[in-house]
Amino acid sequence: MSRVKFLHCADLHLDAPFTSLGADSGKSAERRQDLKDTFRNIIELAKSEKVDLLLISGDLYEHGYVLKSTINFINKCFESIPATKVFIVPGNHDPITVSSYYRNYSWSNNVYILCDELPYVYLDDIDTYIYGVGFKSFSQEKTIAYSLKPVRNDCINLMLVHGTVDMNIGNSLYNPMSSENLSTLNMDYIALGHFHGMLSDIGGKGIIYNPGSPEPLGFDEGGSHGVFIGDLASTDSAEKNLELRFQKLNKRYYETTDIKVDGCGSTEEIISRMDAELKCSDAPNCLLSVSLKGYLEESIKIDLLQIQNHFRDKLYYLKIKNETLVNYNIDQIVKEPGLKGLFVRKIMSRIEKTEDLCEKELLNKALYYGLEALENGKLDL
């Protein structure tokens, strides 16, 4: 009987630029440090859990931005867990190119970069094979996961892979795979990376898992983020038992919300409404994207800087979009003989004829944006 304990992580994207946060705010640099802090927490978790293996399924760092000092930091972290074997497959953001640090750096003795030259490693002390298929360039149209040698069913078999599984997203450049085909490889656990949200038991076979990014990287990555900790044992009958748990690790979190500001007569009233409606459970660590919605009188001008300043010490970061529309008197304008009246009548006719709710919404926005353009001779979006 053999047994292996592992920690599975992916998509750290160390030294990511975070350009969307703005160069002058200092938040981009802080978020890069957050990624390092989270990586250090992963290492500490590997220590406290006494894992045999640390599995990193791609995009450990950003090839185009990573500093040599960050690579040194990563390697020092690996050196601090000598009893744990570290296995890495390159992803599409850190492919094993000619100039890659995976090829041109002296990594700690406990680190294995799985690639064409080293597609698998056998650890006889725990009777375990670890396979890996990584990116050799920044894109991969055809899968690189199905060309592995036959596995031994009497030992534990793990595989690291970076790419998309069971995702019908058209012409994929990121190693497209199917869970059905992956299941034929007879692996006991497939450590997947690439998608930044946690995905559990992909394909329903009990073998394919994606932990997501341990620290979220954008407003499309809400919710909890972390790693998987697994315990895999083979019985005398060659059956395998997997115990797996998700460990939350993220330092910050992202949220998006809409705030209706209909009826507000000033920026101060909008701020009061936002104070009343925003309910961030951990506001000092929240990166929040707010879209202001609704209809305001034409004379009301929203001061976004004033709103930013109000929430500066309440939220870690606020991104605010003004998507309000001028509250035109449509019933009155539709009766006008000029261009505005004609435009409104045409759009209203189309709105009345369609039964598609999405089309109605788009036409309604077109109505108000069109009126703004006719009124002011320009459109501010």
**pLDDT given at position 216:** 97
Q: Helices in the chain by DSSP H: which ranges?
A: 27-49, 68-79, 179-183, 267-277, 304-311, 330-333, 339-353, 357-376
Residue 318 has, within 13 A of its CA and on its CB side, a CA count of: 25
CA dihedral 51, 225, 9, 127 (to 10 degrees): 40
Q: What are phi and psi of 121, to 5 degrees?
A: -135, 140
**pLDDT given at position 320:** 95
Question: For residue 7, how far is the Cα from the chain centroid?
Answer: 19
Q: How far is CA 306 from CA 219, 309, 311, in A?
A: 22, 5, 9
Q: How many CB atoms lie within 10 A of CB 18?
A: 21
**pLDDT given at position 145:** 63
**pLDDT given at position 334:** 86
Here the tokens at position 44 are: 């500490």
Query: How are strands ordered across the β-sheet holding 317-322?
Result: 253-260, 286-293, 317-322
In order of their start, the domains of the chain are 3-248 (3.60.21.10), 253-376 (no CATH)
Query: How are strands ordered across the β-sheet holding 53-56?
Result: 111-113, 85-88, 53-56, 3-9, 226-234, 240-248
Q: Going residue by residue through the chain, which has 381 residues, state the pLDDT in tens, using 9 for 90 and above.
A: 689 999 999 999 999 999 888 766 689 999 999 999 999 999 999 999 999 999 999 999 999 999 999 999 999 999 999 999 999 999 999 999 999 999 999 999 999 999 989 999 999 999 999 999 888 888 776 676 656 666 888 899 999 999 988 876 555 667 788 898 888 888 999 999 999 999 999 999 999 999 999 999 999 999 999 999 999 998 766 688 999 999 999 999 999 999 999 999 999 999 999 999 998 878 999 999 999 999 898 788 999 999 999 999 999 999 999 999 888 888 888 888 889 889 989 999 999 999 888 998 898 888 888 888 887 766 565
- Is the pTM here over 0.85, yes or no? yes
CA distance 167 to 178: 8
Backbone region of residue 26 per phi and psi (left: phi > 0; alpha: psi in -120 to 50; beta: other values): left
The secondary structure of residue 308, as a DSSP letter, is: H
